[in-house]
Amino acid sequence: MSDNKQSHFTIDRALYEQADVDNSKYKSSPGLTEDVILDISSQKNEPKWMLEKRLQAFELFKHTAIPTWGPDLSGLNLDDIIYFIRPDAQESNVWKDVPKEIRQTFDRLGIPEAEKKYLGGVGAQYDSDVIYHNIQEDLKKKGVIFENMDVALREHEDLVKKYFMTQCILVNDHKFSMLHASVWSGGTFIYIPPGVKVNLPLQAYFRMNAQSGGQFEHTLIIADVGSEVQYIEGCSAPRYTINSLHAGGVEIFVHKNARVRYYSIENWSKNTYNLNTKRALVDEDGIIEWINANMGSGVTMLYPSSILRGRGARSDFLGVAFAGSGQNQDTGAKVIHVAPDTKSTIRSKSISSGGGVCTYRGYVYIGENAERSKVDVECNALLIDDESISNTHPYMKIDTDNVNIVHEAQVGKIGDEEIFYLQSRGLSIEQARQLIVSGFIEPIIKALPLEYALELNRLIELEMEASVG
């Protein structure tokens, strides 16, 4: 039994939270001014239209107030954040060319091993720049583009210009999409040509290292007619005393009959504000699948949205959030049905422990012409102790009849009888609790690729250990 217990805790949060020596080549001064934006743009040698977009977004950003609904953002001082940090490294597609210190960080996180084993391609971003990018040859031959966003802007400017913050996430959406548009740097660009099916998942790993840094990567996935792709994103940051900010943007275009599966495991350190915008536009018979795990960060506000605009489009959302002491996970999903015969499912699970707050905030809209649409929402919350908080705020707006909408939510604790049963089988209280929690999040674990499933399971055990023990 004791051996077994050992193996449960081989992972250590320090793995993620240990900072490296800050060897950045370039750092902008804290705070956001027009000069910072001009600087980012000129260093990247961007086309004029992109700079104009940045400046337009900045102009809007200045005049927009921080949202007051949802979690408290008063601890976030936007003037303290460093908006652009370049590591001392050139992007490379050979792992050993990456500088040693940075390589060590990613080695620790297991990125290159994962690539060898089962990935079709991988990218790694360190602060504001992507430092490693690789894709399998046969995918390249089929016309799949998997690039760093900055490179994509140079080499596939037409595609980027057509899709970049033009119809999916709009520049003027909200305060943090404006901020993102003005200072975005790095991220992933994926284009899958018509009919191409990528069997192995593509992966990117994002790491914030510099103190009080901000990471604003932009991910753009375009799945052309009849194509299929899976994309995994992992995120972490070391722990500092000053808050850092992550305001990324993910835009996914699912064209006719295409299918995209998007995984994201966020494990930012607990003083990170994770204010992310993720959205997918789904055309006729297209399918978007979101699999989201929110483990880290102090405050999360993240609501992946799907706009089902083609007949028969579908969206499946599976999410898990874990809030430990001092964490506020405000997550959920939005689905906008604006075409007939569209379907969506939302499964959300949350665990609050040690005084953490988990909130499910969702929105389902059925437009006037979205006849015969079906929606199924299910939220489950588990409260580990009596200091923790769970909130459920689903919004539903239905503008037509001939629909079928179901929402259900349940909040509860771990039953004493279940614990007693496991104890009678020789497990300790902690082990019993962990086992029950593992069972609770099993649907999400099942959907994840093996390595991530293990990592997520261990992280939850670790967090539980901290709160229960």
Partner 1 sequence: MNKDILKYGIGIVADMTAIDFDARVFEHGNMNVVVDNLKVKKISTKECEEKLKNWKIQKVEKRKEIVDVRFYKQNAIEPTDIVTFFIPKTVDKPVHIYIGDKQKNVLIYLRIIVEAGARVTIIESIQDIEYCGMILDVIVGEGAYVKYIIDQRVDDKSFLIHARTAFVGKNAIYRWIDIELGSAISKQTIVTELVDEGARAETYGLFFGIDNQLIDLKTTILHNASHTTSDMHVKGVLSGHAKGIYYGLIRIPHGSYTCDGKQREETLLLSKDSEINSIPNLEIENNDVKCRHAVSTANIDTESLFYFQSRGIENDTAIQSIVEGYLMEIIDLVGDETLMKSIKSTIIKKLK
Question: Of these, 66, 396, 429, 454, which contacts partner 1 (CB under 8 A)?
Answer: 396
Distance in Å, CB of 86 to partner 1, minimum: 38
407 binds partner 1 (CB under 8 A): yes
Cβ burial of 370 (10 Å; 0-12, 13-18, 19+) is buried
392 binds partner 1 (CB under 8 A): yes
Q: How far is CA 238 from CA 82, 184, 213, 297, 309, in A?
A: 15, 21, 11, 11, 40
Binding mask 410-449 for partner 1 (x = CB under 8 A): xxxx------------------------------------
Q: How far is CA 85 from CA 25, 54, 67, 111, 269, in A?
A: 8, 17, 27, 22, 18
Distance in Å, CB of 248 to partner 1, minimum: 22
Element (H, E) at 447: helix 442-447
Applying CB under 8 A, what is the total number of residues that bind partner 1? 36
CA distance 22 to 354: 32
Binding mask 46-85 for partner 1 (x = CB under 8 A): -----------------------x----------------
Question: Of these, 160, 318, 384, 447, which contacts partner 1 (CB under 8 A)?
Answer: 384
275's torsion region: left (phi>0), alpha (psi -120 to 50) or beta?
beta
Question: Of these, 35, 97, 155, 387, which contacts partner 1 (CB under 8 A)?
Answer: 387
Q: Which of residues 314-373 bind partner 1 (CB under 8 A)?
A: 363, 365, 368
11 binds partner 1 (CB under 8 A): no
Cβ burial of 72 (10 Å; 0-12, 13-18, 19+) is exposed
Among 263, 245, 233, 271, residue whose Cα is nearest residue 17: 271
State whether residue 37 is helix, strand or coil: helix
308 binds partner 1 (CB under 8 A): no
389 binds partner 1 (CB under 8 A): yes
User: With respect to partner 1, which residue has the nearer C-beta, 69 or 100?
Assistant: 69
State whether residue 460 is helix, strand or coil: helix
Of 36-44, 245-253, 309-317, 386-394, which segment contacts partner 1 by CB under 8 A? 386-394
User: With respect to partner 1, which residue has the nearer C-beta, 236 or 390?
Assistant: 390
Of 13-21, 234-242, 318-326, 396-404, which segment contacts partner 1 by CB under 8 A? 396-404
Q: Do residues 98 and 133 touch, judged by C-beta distance below 8 A? A: no
CA distance 186 to 384: 38
User: With respect to partner 1, which residue has the nearer C-beta, 195 or 415?
Assistant: 415
406 binds partner 1 (CB under 8 A): yes
User: What letter would DSSP give residue 97?
Assistant: G
CA distance 350 to 319: 8
Of 99-107, 218-226, 322-330, 409-417, which segment contacts partner 1 by CB under 8 A? 409-417
170 binds partner 1 (CB under 8 A): no
Residues contacting 442, CB < 8 A, separation 6+ = none
Phi, psi of 438 (to 5 degrees): -60, -40
Question: Of these, 42, 172, 402, 423, which contacts partner 1 (CB under 8 A)?
Answer: 402
User: With respect to partner 1, which residue has the nearer C-beta, 26 or 363?
Assistant: 363
User: With respect to partner 1, which residue has the nearer C-beta, 237 or 338?
Assistant: 338
Interacting residues with partner 1 (CB under 8 A) = 69, 363, 365, 368, 381, 383-413
